[in-house]
Amino acid sequence: MAKLSQRGVNIPASPIRRLVPYADEAKARGIHVHRLNIGQPDIPTPKRMLDAYRGYDEEVLAYGPSQGLPQMRQAVADDYVRRGLPIEPRHVTTCFGGSEAITFALAAVADPGDEVLVPEPFYANYAGFAAQLGIDVRPVTASADDGFHLPSDATLDAAVGPRTKAVVYCSPGNPTGTVYRSEEVARIGRLAERHDLFVISDEVYRDFAYDGVSVTSALTLDCAEERVIVIDSVSKKYSACGARVGFAITKVEPVLDAIMRMSFSRLCPATVDQLAAVAAYATPASYFDEVRAEYTRRRNVLVDGLNAIDGVSSYRPEGAFYTVATFDVDDIDHFATWLLTDFSHDGQTVMMAPATGFYATPGLGRSQARIAYVLGVPALESCLSVLRAAVAVYRP
Amino acid sequence: MAKLSQRGVNIPASPIRRLVPYADEAKARGIHVHRLNIGQPDIPTPKRMLDAYRGYDEEVLAYGPSQGLPQMRQAVADDYVRRGLPIEPRHVTTCFGGSEAITFALAAVADPGDEVLVPEPFYANYAGFAAQLGIDVRPVTASADDGFHLPSDATLDAAVGPRTKAVVYCSPGNPTGTVYRSEEVARIGRLAERHDLFVISDEVYRDFAYDGVSVTSALTLDCAEERVIVIDSVSKKYSACGARVGFAITKVEPVLDAIMRMSFSRLCPATVDQLAAVAAYATPASYFDEVRAEYTRRRNVLVDGLNAIDGVSSYRPEGAFYTVATFDVDDIDHFATWLLTDFSHDGQTVMMAPATGFYATPGLGRSQARIAYVLGVPALESCLSVLRAAVAVYRP
């Protein structure tokens, strides 16, 4: 048998999906599994978006333009302009979800053997995309004690090496829910200027910030035209994860050109999903007011409930729909697996994502799990009952 | 400004789409441009597939499984079983078109700096995917004189180097239309065994072979369980290029595992497009009889018409819907551009894909163009009139 590539060996298993087979087995045993492991919201997709699928009326489902349908790129640009960011349609490349947008961004800025700096815990799939491209992830560890805000300049500077090409971050954060304040985003810009780095800013959760906290886009940085690539998506924005429509947005001309050539190679994004996404962008802003109010309620119930359990703690995240909770256990992977294989409470259990997969530094995150508050308050209250009962009896 | 990666520089522009701006300008001048440059068939997408979009009735457009919906993987496996190939659903990974399937296959078998052997002219985007992954393409030149059939074993052996990890080929071929006979596929299998290579076989055109020529899948090879990855897609099969649903199919367990981990990273393929593709797979086999009859008519009109023009020649391709025609010109890029910028005949012109982009060896293909017979016979006859008139007056 011929030998797998080294990168084929290196690509990590997903910490978010790894436990799925155990959850399926639990379900087969008749246990209701609350899936808090994945960022799949239960919020209904806007009806106008679903109606667009139902209204598709072409006879030939044809290729579209490689960078996306013109009306798609226009809708996204308009959305940025409404937020005061002067983005033109030509700055927008439509991709297969934020996933492909990040892959294109990484490929454009880093060669095999190069590094990207990423505050950890980080969205685990960054490591997957990097491994596929032969790029190394250099983590800079943030701390739960200050809600995973940006590490100090000295810590960041110390992590930059001769092959570091970019800093990659997500705010509002996955898995942390942390929203970087404008001064933190400014510090990232200055870091990039100091070390001649690109900035890849994953802003797919930008509509989800609570308590009046505002989200600062990396596109506001002075160096935006030289250094910034923003990742965007309809998945979380419109609760449409299955549409797989995302965007790479950049005013850096050589990067835009490289991404264009990569987009040519894979021909085009899916046509009908884009038509549906265009319809979604006509959703009135009041939609987000309701969604934010709902997530705020859920976050409060979850965080207060976690902190009320002996041996569990969580900061109060300002955005997205995750928190990284700390448990009084030594091996979160074992605990999260045990919840599915050996435990139930009133016929229910909970699937969480062990945080070990969100760290690149070996050994970190072994007491933490990402919990997504993607279910309604009654379900979250059931989850808290399950966790309270589980923590009380868990003996590894 | 930070510096683009070397691979960002290396990713080639698409020879298939490069001329699009000139075509758009010609159209703006009121000229009808026959688009024979791209493999976008005009055959209607099966109605049952389009109806599936129209019938989508979920409230939340949710993530699906990373490797594809169970019914999608089952439909594809069933399709192979009907052809006598014992494929199980677990061997099938659903991807964003054949494009992502090839990217996954390449990443699984080759590291940055490794090589893949590809008979040229080849589907130009292979070079784009390889460049993105830092893999080098080692071309082996086939000849128009024998209809671009597989070069000799001696030529193939001589091209294998210490870092060659796989042989990549497409049959029925894009851009050539050539169908490798079973003995050619067997020779590829023995080549792989001799040099311990993987075989990446792009079979997206397998339903399109004419004159009773049969298509041999690489999955029939003795080494299939050790070496073979097949690329498949609904794009050409069901005239549904805009659905972006393709498949990587392999029985090589470590490759299957690596592709699974890559598929986890990008979460899942698009949900509704898969539901539509599942519906398409219920299309009766008689559909292909009609489609093949239509393409056979078109091929005959095109090839006979080309050969009737002084200074143009074409072999008779056995499959797909392309031919690589040879023109009595020194610079096909100039000629193909000129057709759009400086020529029209009865208010019409033709867009072709210059073959230079389908060769990795510099300087080759400068008299050749890929012509896709994706339009009906009357349109092809108009195209032939355009080309006849153009060749008569073209003075570079």
Query: pLDDT for A48-58, tens place per residue?
Result: 999 999 999 99
**Is B258's CB within 8 Å of A9's CB?**
yes
A230, A293: one domain: no
B303, B351: one domain: yes
B31, B174: one domain: no
**Is B99's CB within 8 Å of A267's CB?**
yes
- Model confidence at A41: pLDDT above 90: no
Please give the pLDDT value at position B41.
86
A154, A273: one domain: yes
Q: Which residues of chain B does A113 touch, with a Cβ-Cβ cutoff of 8 Å?
A: 112
A292, A238: one domain: no
Q: How far B361 CA lies from chain A's nearest CA (Å)?
A: 19
Residue of A1, A3, A5 for testing the chain B interface, max B β-carbons within 10 Å:
A5
pLDDT-derived band at B39 (thresholds 50, 70, 90) equals: confident
Q: Which residues of chain B does A254 touch, with a Cβ-Cβ cutoff of 8 Å?
A: 1, 4, 8
Average pLDDT, chain A: 96
**Is A60's CB within 8 Å of B273's CB?**
no
- Model confidence at B14: pLDDT above 90: no
Interval B231-245 mean pLDDT: 97
**Is A242's CB within 8 Å of B38's CB?**
no
Contact B96, B143 (CB under 8 A): no
Contact B204, A267 (CB under 8 A): no
Residues 6+ apart with CB under 8 A from B262: A11, A128, A132, B104, B107, B108
Please give the pLDDT value at position B17.
75
Whether residue B8 is contained in a domain is answered as no
Please give the pLDDT value at position B172.
98
Q: Is A289 helix (H, G, I), strand (E, B) or coil?
A: helix
Number of Cβ atoms within 10 Å of the Cβ of A81: 12
**Is A113's CB within 8 Å of B114's CB?**
no
- Domain-ending residue, one of B242, B261, B280: B280
Whether residue B374 is contained in a domain is answered as yes
Please give the pLDDT value at position B15.
74
Q: Which residues of chain B does A100 touch, with a Cβ-Cβ cutoff of 8 Å?
A: 96, 266
C-alpha distance from residue B142 to each of B119, B122, B169, B174, B333 (Å): 6, 10, 12, 13, 21
- Model confidence at A16: pLDDT above 90: no
- Domain-ending residue, one of B280, B312, B336: B280
- Model confidence at A17: pLDDT above 80: no
For residue B38, what is the DSSP state?
S
A234, A290: one domain: no
SS3 content of chain A, % helix, strand, coil (to 5): 45, 15, 40
Provide the number of structural domains found in chain A: 2
Whether residue A155 is contained in a domain is answered as yes
pLDDT-derived band at A18 (thresholds 50, 70, 90) equals: confident
Please give the pLDDT value at position B38.
85
**Is A261's CB within 8 Å of B50's CB?**
no
Whole-model pTM: value is 0.96
Please give the pLDDT value at position A206.
96
**Is A14's CB within 8 Å of B272's CB?**
no
Q: Which residues of chain A does B66 touch, with a Cβ-Cβ cutoff of 8 Å?
A: 14, 17
Whether residue A1 is contained in a domain is answered as no
Residue of B47, B51, B59, B61 for testing the chain A interface, max A β-carbons within 10 Å:
B61
% pLDDT > 70, chain B: 100
Which of A111, A125, A242 has its CB closest to that of B62? A242
A15, A138: one domain: no
- Model confidence at A15: pLDDT above 90: no
- Comparing CA positions, the residue from B162, B167, B91 lying closest to residue B126 is B167
**Is A113's CB within 8 Å of B111's CB?**
no
Please give the pLDDT value at position B102.
98
Query: pLDDT for A308-356, tens place per residue?
Result: 999 999 999 999 999 999 999 999 999 999 999 999 999 999 999 999 9
**Is B254's CB within 8 Å of A8's CB?**
yes
- In which domain, by residue range, is B325 found? 15-44+286-391
Contact A92, A76 (CB under 8 A): yes
Q: Which two tokens stand for residue B139?
A: 């071309």
pLDDT-derived band at B365 (thresholds 50, 70, 90) equals: very high
Whether residue B396 is contained in a domain is answered as no
Interval A144-169 mean pLDDT: 97
- Comparing CA positions, the residue from B118, B120, B115 lying closest to residue B134 is B115
pLDDT-derived band at B145 (thresholds 50, 70, 90) equals: very high
Q: How far B157 CA lies from chain A's nearest CA (Å)?
A: 17
Whether residue B26 is contained in a domain is answered as yes
How many cross-chain Cβ pairs, A to B, lie less than 8 Å apart? 280
% pLDDT > 90, chain A: 95
Whether residue B229 is contained in a domain is answered as yes
Residue of B45, B50, B53 for testing the chain A interface, max A β-carbons within 10 Å:
B53
- Model confidence at B95: pLDDT above 80: yes
A172, A230: one domain: yes
* C-alpha–C-alpha distance, residues B151 and B154, integer Å: 8
Whether residue B110 is contained in a domain is answered as yes
ipTM value of the model?
0.95
**Is B99's CB within 8 Å of A241's CB?**
no
Residues 6+ apart with CB under 8 A from B27: B33
Instruction: Answer whether the bond into residue B65 is a cis peptide, omega within 30°.
Output: no
Please give the pLDDT value at position A277.
98
Please give the pLDDT value at position B211.
96
Q: How far A18 CA lies from chain B's nearest CA (Å)?
A: 9
Q: Which residues of chain A does B110 touch, with a Cβ-Cβ cutoff of 8 Å?
A: 5
CATH at residue B61: 3.40.640.10
CATH at residue B343: 3.90.1150.10
B161, B265: one domain: yes
Which of A66, A266, A272 has its CB closest to that of B53? A272
A337, A203: one domain: no
B1-15, B294-308, B382-396: least confident range: B1-15
- Model confidence at B331: pLDDT above 90: yes
A67, A108: one domain: yes
- Domain-ending residue, one of B280, B299, B334: B280
A174, A269: one domain: yes
% pLDDT > 90, chain B: 95
**Is B265's CB within 8 Å of A239's CB?**
no
Q: How far A392 CA lies from chain B's nearest CA (Å)?
A: 33
Q: How far A133 CA lies from chain B's nearest CA (Å)?
A: 5
Residues 6+ apart with CB under 8 A from B211: B296, B318
- Model confidence at B322: pLDDT above 90: yes
Please give the pLDDT value at position A40.
84
pLDDT-derived band at A396 (thresholds 50, 70, 90) equals: confident
* C-alpha–C-alpha distance, residues A136 and A150, integer Å: 20
Which of B9, B196, B270 has its CB closest to that of A270? B270
**Is A244's CB within 8 Å of B270's CB?**
yes
Q: How far B131 CA lies from chain A's nearest CA (Å)?
A: 9
Rg (CA), chain A: 21
